A and B are shown apart, each in its own frame.
Chain A
Amino acid sequence: MLDSNTRKKASDKLRKIVGSEYITMHETDRILNAHDAWPLSEAKIRAGEMLPLADFVVFPGSAEEISKVLVVANELKIPVTPVGGGAGTCGGTLPIYGGIQLDLKRLNKIGEIDHDSMLIRAQAGVVGIDLEEEVNRHGYTTGHTPTSLRASNIGGFIATRSGGSMSSLYGKIEDLTLGLQVVLPNGSIVETKAVPRHSVGPDLRQLFIGSEGTLGVITEATLRLFPKPEKRRFRSFSFPDVHSGIEAIRKIFRVGIIPSVARLYDPEDAALTFSMNFEFDEGHCMLLLAFDGATERVDLDDNESTRICIEEGGTNQGEGPSKRWWEHRYDMYYPTRLTTAGYAIGDTIDIVATYDKLENVYHSMKKDMEAEDAVVMSHFSHMYQNGGSIYMIFFTSQPDAETAWNTYKRIWDAGIAACHREGGTMSHQHGVGLSRSSYTEDELGSGFGVLKKIKDALDPNGIMNPGKLGLGVRG
């Protein structure tokens, strides 16, 4: 928290910039805006604990206002935590050192579609579903389909390098973002031009994609669009084990087929997710596929994938499980009595690795996390030519808060250690935030020093989201 003198000075200046209506110091507002969807914050909220609060929540209306806010924050050395939809899963928006929460939800304008180039420009605070529905009206899709689409914002997607469940085909947000507007900590407003490719030095746009508010504030983006696919076909296969399922996926990509969805549920997750509605052998895995595109192309891809799956020992389960998953994909995120009872807590470690390491990462993480009192179930969630991501989902329930939070931490430590040991990377799409902050240096190795130097150069006073992404951690 700030001392009262600094708070007063900041309050006067910020009020002049955004207007009194758009800054609040009410404790109620600071509490209700504090948290994102980090499961530890959610569990603490349920347990009746108070989370760290900002001194102010500020709702700027333009890049110019943000620029002025950052100049003031720099002058007074006040921490600034950007807030998008506030639905990140890593505690990225928690204002752990107080200061300003800079909530971008008022930046909600959607520009005109450029039909020739298939692009759209949108402000950072546009909610994902609002953009998707708007482009749908004109026959397009953004191709970005994370399950937080209804809650997260464009800026949040970009700031966390998020990925939709169809990223195999459409790409993650780093592939979908062509141009960016960013306000740097010193207040300068920087544009990176929207071009399909370029050869003018390193791609500065990529520096800010995934920077989680530690290098600046993303205010606008130019995003790619795709014509809505003529056909979307769902297909499912059960497999006797994880290995044969992964082999099938690997071979599908190897022959040049790019499904929009390729998800393999391990036996535990398959049982939980599908056994209520579909009959398949106990202990088997479930592979979900989807193909988007022109009907003839979809037929070809579907037939060839089916041939490969059967060759690898799969049993065709028709469109059922895959289609059902797509139609009910939001359901698992709603609170239930079981998952919110007592001191229950769960989370997902969304690791990523190449095919040569993927299965080892999976088995090692599962074993080591289970050794720490976790129930673990997993699915290989986003697959590509060279490897893919695993949702290592865990759950634990403990008799009291202290044991629960400690167990949660131990499960994370064990999972990340196993992931790193086996050559995996600790996040495919959720980002680092607070939950993975202390592992960042291990993850990036020699690269961490480079990131730190960039941070120091752009944000010498360390005002931007301190404590996240392993940067600006205070003693």
Chain B
Amino acid sequence: MTEQGKIAEQVRMCAACPKMCRHVCPTFFAWRSDAPTPHGRALLLHQEITGLRNIDERGVEVLYQCLECSHCLTWCKPEIDIASLVENKRCDLVKSGRQPSGVNRLANFVKETHNPFGEKHSKRNDWLKTGSLNGPKIIYFSGCTAAYREKSIAQDTISILEYLGYSVAITPDEWCCGSPLFRTGDTATGLKQASHNVEVLNDINAEEIIVTCPGCYRALTKDYPENGFELDKPVQHISEFLNRLVDKLPQGDTNGSVTFHDPCHLGRHSGVYDAPRAVIERISGNPIVEMERNRENAMCCGNGAGLRTLFPEHAKMIGSERVRQALNINANCIVTSCPFCKEMLEAQSERRVAVFDLPEFVMQGIESRNVKTD
């Protein structure tokens, strides 16, 4: 069967599914309508493929409301991957110039400033402090959110890596990894970032590349090689890297209850579930208290695939719900392993629960050797 044939078969099945996974779709949660749902999105695609009806402007919006969190896939027995189907369609929409204006703005910022926020490139990482030049050299690719919005994640990452005996290379030539562009359908602009970053990173002599953002992780380990851009050193997410060296991290002894929020790009999209948990348990000295929805069944934080830019209020509702899920199990502290998730969850926590990204949590452990979370 051709690729097009396979897509047609999948959307045909899904378009008329009796809504078997809708209960976990975060955009259904936020809008409470059958439009922004997995089967709703499939129905739009199906009607276009059968020639019944083209996707109109509202249809484009419904497709761009998808967080590409793949939570629906966890609940889909026929394994229909709405996130990929939506992303494919977004690529077509961008090619024909029909994407929402917010997506254009984002792409223009990346083209002009190499980050999606429109911040000055010169300020990307000139503020980051590195210390020791001894030890094996590794590159830290901070990504845009840690560079401009969640700076302590970037600085703590460097401090931890140095604590573990590495010398950390950061490059002023780092550009946005392209993830927001790949996810919103602007592959061409995304690949320009890929091409630049691969050249820059391959030029640096180092053992491996560490990322803290799961969006960067997925871009560097999947989108780049799938499109012919090969990095010449391994890429590790900070959670995996720290898990490898977990014995060198301080063994904590805390009495607060800590839960872990699985980022979609790290968990469902990259299959990394155990590493961050092992690191957190080492630092806290206690088993993680799991939220009811965890691992493959974790709810998205609402900050993915441009939703917060395009529909901020609905994105925040999703973030608040995730915080509520942590409060349901009386967590004192949510740790995640994604600057994006951290930003959203912290903003929605209203100080009822502490929110940390993994490097921040680990750094606290190193600094205090006795993390207090309550």
Contacts and interface: CB of A to CB of B under 8 A. Distances in A.
B43 A32 contact: yes
B19 A32 contact: no
Contacts of B14: 335
Contacts of A59: 32-33
A24 to B, nearest CB: 8
Given A28-B59, A334-B76, A57 B33 contact: yes
B245 interface: no
A48 B52 contact: yes
Contact of B23 (A57, A86, A127): A127
B20 interface: yes
A108 B317 CA distance: 14
Interface string A395-415: 000000000000000000000
B228 interface: no
Interface in A33-76: 33, 35, 37, 41-43, 45-46, 48-50, 57, 59
Interface in B38-88: 40, 43-44, 46-47, 50-53, 55-56, 58-59, 62, 76-78
A57 B76 CA distance: 28
Contact of B17 (A129, A130, A334): A334
Contact of B22 (A45, A150, A337): A150
Contacts of B51: 48
A42 B20 CA distance: 13
A32 B44 contact: yes
Contacts of A127: 23
Given A28-B56, A48-B51, A33 B16 contact: no
Given A48-B51, A334-B76, A87 B35 contact: no
A129 B33 contact: no
Contact of A85 (B19, B43, B46, B53): B19
B322 to A, nearest CB: 15
Contact of A28 (B17, B20, B46, B58): B58
Interface string B1-30: 000000001001111111110110000000
Nearest to A44: B16
A333 B52 contact: no
A125 B16 contact: no
A45 to B, nearest CB: 4
A49 B13 CA distance: 15
A28 B13 contact: no
B18 A151 contact: yes
A474 interface: no
Contacts of B34: 32-33, 86, 103
B328 interface: yes
Contact of A26 (B18, B52, B53, B58): B58
Given A43-B16, A57-B33, A337 B9 contact: yes
A4 to B, nearest CB: 20
Contacts of A41: 16
Contact of A150 (B15, B20, B35, B55): B20
A316 B185 CA distance: 57
Interface string A271-287: 00000000000000000
B35 A37 contact: no
A103 B28 CA distance: 13
Contacts of A175: none
Contacts of A26: 56, 58
Interface string B299-314: 0000000000000000
Contacts of A337: 9, 13, 78
B43 A31 contact: yes
B18 to A, nearest CB: 4
B20 A45 contact: no
Q: Say which size band chain A's interface belongs to.
A: 35 or more
A133 B16 contact: no
B23 A150 contact: yes
Interface residues of B, number: 36
A334 B46 contact: no
Contact of A42 (B18, B55, B78): B18
A241 B35 CA distance: 47
Contacts of A144: none
A13 interface: no
B310 to A, nearest CB: 15
Given A151-B19, A151-B22, A335-B13, A28 B62 contact: yes
Q: DSSP class of B's interface residues: helix, strand, loop or mixed?
A: loop
Contacts of A57: 33
Interface centre among B17, B18, B34, B47 (most CB of A within 10 A): B18
A137 B18 contact: no
A52 to B, nearest CB: 15
A331 interface: yes
B35 A33 contact: yes
B43 to A, nearest CB: 6
Contacts of A33: 33-35
A82 to B, nearest CB: 14
B292 interface: yes
B47 A103 contact: no
Contact of B16 (A45, A105, A330, A336): A45
A45 B43 contact: yes
Contacts of A27: 56, 58
B292 A133 contact: yes
A409 B20 CA distance: 26
Contacts of B16: 35, 41-43, 45-46, 335, 340
Nearest to A335: B13
A57 B32 CA distance: 12
A379 to B, nearest CB: 19
Contact of A29 (B19, B33, B46, B52): B33
A45 B44 contact: no
A138 to B, nearest CB: 11
Nearest to B55: A28
B12 A87 contact: no
B77 A87 contact: no
Nearest to B24: A150
Interface centre among B9, B33, B37, B40 (most CB of A within 10 A): B33
Contact of A103 (B23, B33, B50, B53): B33
A342 to B, nearest CB: 11
B19 A137 contact: no
Contact of A335 (B17, B37, B59): B17
Contacts of A106: 32
Contacts of A31: 43, 47, 53
B19 A86 contact: yes
B58 A333 contact: no
B12 A340 contact: yes
Contacts of B40: 32
A315 B96 CA distance: 65
Interface string A323-358: 000000011011111001000000000000000000
Contact of B328 (A46, A48, A137, A151): A137
8 contacts: A28-B62, A29-B33, A46-B15, A46-B16, A57-B33, A86-B34, A151-B22, A335-B78
Given A28-B58, A48-B50, A103-B34, 20 more contacts: A26-B56, A31-B43, A33-B33, A33-B35, A35-B16, A43-B16, A48-B52, A49-B52, A50-B53, A130-B23, A137-B328, A150-B20, A151-B20, A151-B22, A330-B20, A331-B77, A333-B20, A334-B78, A335-B17, A335-B78
Smallest CB-CB A-B distances: 4 pairs: A48-B50, A42-B16, A37-B18, A105-B32
Interface of A: 26-29, 31-33, 35, 37, 41-43, 45-46, 48-50, 57, 59, 85-87, 89, 103, 105-106, 108, 125, 127, 129-130, 133, 137, 148, 150-151, 330-331, 333-337, 340
